[in-house]
Amino acid sequence: MNNNLLTVTSPLLPPLEEFIPYLQKIWDNKWLTNNGEMHRKLERQLAEYLGVQYISLFTNGTLPLITALQALEIEGEVITTPYSFVATTHSIWWNKLQPVFVDVEPETGNLDPRKIEAAITEKTTALMPVHVYGNPCDVDAIQKIADKHHLKVIYDAAHAFGVKINGQSVLNFGDISTLSFHATKTYTTVEGGALVCHSAEMKQKIDHLKNFGFAGETSVVAPGINSKMDEIRAAFGLLNLKYIDGAIANRKRITELYRSKLQDVRGVRFLQDMNGVTHNYSYFPIFVDSERYGMTRDELYELLKTHNIYGRRYFYPLISSFEPYCEYTSARKENLPIASKLAIDVICLPIYADLAEEDVNRVVEVIKNKN
């Protein structure tokens, strides 16, 4: 049994000796970065595994968000969610655009399509929803709104590696989707990320933007930045890809254990699988109704820590409450009642591929007994 339980740790890592041949190959190639053999191979294998046509690798998961807005030449206002990690909205700020916050669905925490149109102005040019905890947004409703108002759609799919809707990759919806391969994600390259697009022309534009804008040895076609993935991270990703199906299967088993053991706990709600969706079980959030449960979310959060169980209040506080954004009219708490409620109720419980059932039992016992 693991004495210290964290919300999310690294995935079930392959044996170290399996990584050595990859490092030896990189050493023999004498090619450490700049679209080397490992990088090219990982792009091909990820495209095949994920069921997408065009994917561009990045050195982390934030730079794809920034680059997506640049690649689509977004201007003015971008409608987005307050219920996400700060990188979502920071990418809008870094492009000198204005975020407009819209409330979320109570069932999923995803951007609520029913509230989007009221936020659209003549300055709105794009929507940036998030597939929260890997649960897909209502992609059909969002696309219908985007088509009606001639808006681009950029999905922050940081949590949605391998997720499918009726057999179709969630990454194939919208104009561009972004992925994160951070160490805490279901699939990881230690640090890393990717952009998924739908044409060779857009991939080329993205690849220029992530490499200083170079289109050749002496030609710069855009004010790009340096956000390329190196060969070592790409090699790590290639090896982890061999184990991802097993890791997701383990996460599903752990999720089902939590659900079965918590289903009768009064005042504790958790998410169910969505119809027609192939999930990756990235997170296991619970939502604590303090009146029915008899303890606030923060009290439970602190109690878990006394047992060396470190949950995560993910997402709390709301992005809209942070100093760079709290002065926007759309950021006012009264405009975001559902997101505000989720943020004060949520704890993500420990989940990772090699989490033991006895550790799940330990977490559940604290939640049930409240001592």
Q: What is the pLDDT of residues 151-196, one digit of tens each?
A: 999 999 999 999 999 999 999 999 999 999 999 999 999 999 999 9
- Residue corresponding to tokens 């619970």: 286
What percentage of the chain has pLDDT greater than the value 70? 97
- Residue corresponding to tokens 């760079």: 324
Domain of 270, CATH number, reads: 3.90.1150.10
Read off the pLDDT of residues 341-368 as tens digits, 9 standing for 90 and up.
Answer: 999 999 999 999 999 999 999 999 999 9
> Is the per-residue pLDDT at 290 higher than 80?
yes
Read off the pLDDT of residues 303-313 as tens digits, 9 standing for 90 and up.
Answer: 999 999 999 99
**Residues 335 and 300 sit within 8 Å (Cβ to Cβ):** no
**Tokens at 21, concatenated:** 């041949």
Q: Which of 241, 261, 285 is the last residue of a domain?
A: 241
Are 268 and 341 in the same domain? yes
- Residue corresponding to tokens 């794009």: 126
| Residue 6 within a domain | no
Read off the pLDDT of residues 70-115 as tens digits, 9 standing for 90 and up.
Answer: 999 999 999 999 999 999 999 999 999 999 999 999 999 999 999 9
| Residue 79 within a domain | yes
Read off the pLDDT of residues 265-283 as tens digits, 9 standing for 90 and up.
Answer: 999 999 999 999 999 999 9
Are 214 and 279 in the same domain? no
> HSE of 248 in the Cβ direction (CA atoms, 13 Å)?
18
Domain of 108, CATH number, reads: 3.40.640.10
Per-residue pLDDT, averaged over 35-40, amounts to 97
Tell me, what's the pLDDT at 1? Answer: 52
Q: Which of 241, 276, 294 is the last residue of a domain?
A: 241
Q: Which domain holds residue 344?
A: 244-369
Domain count, the chain: 2
Are 165 and 266 in the same domain? no
**pTM of full prediction above 0.75:** yes
Q: Which of 241, 269, 300 is the last residue of a domain?
A: 241
Are 301 and 249 in the same domain? yes
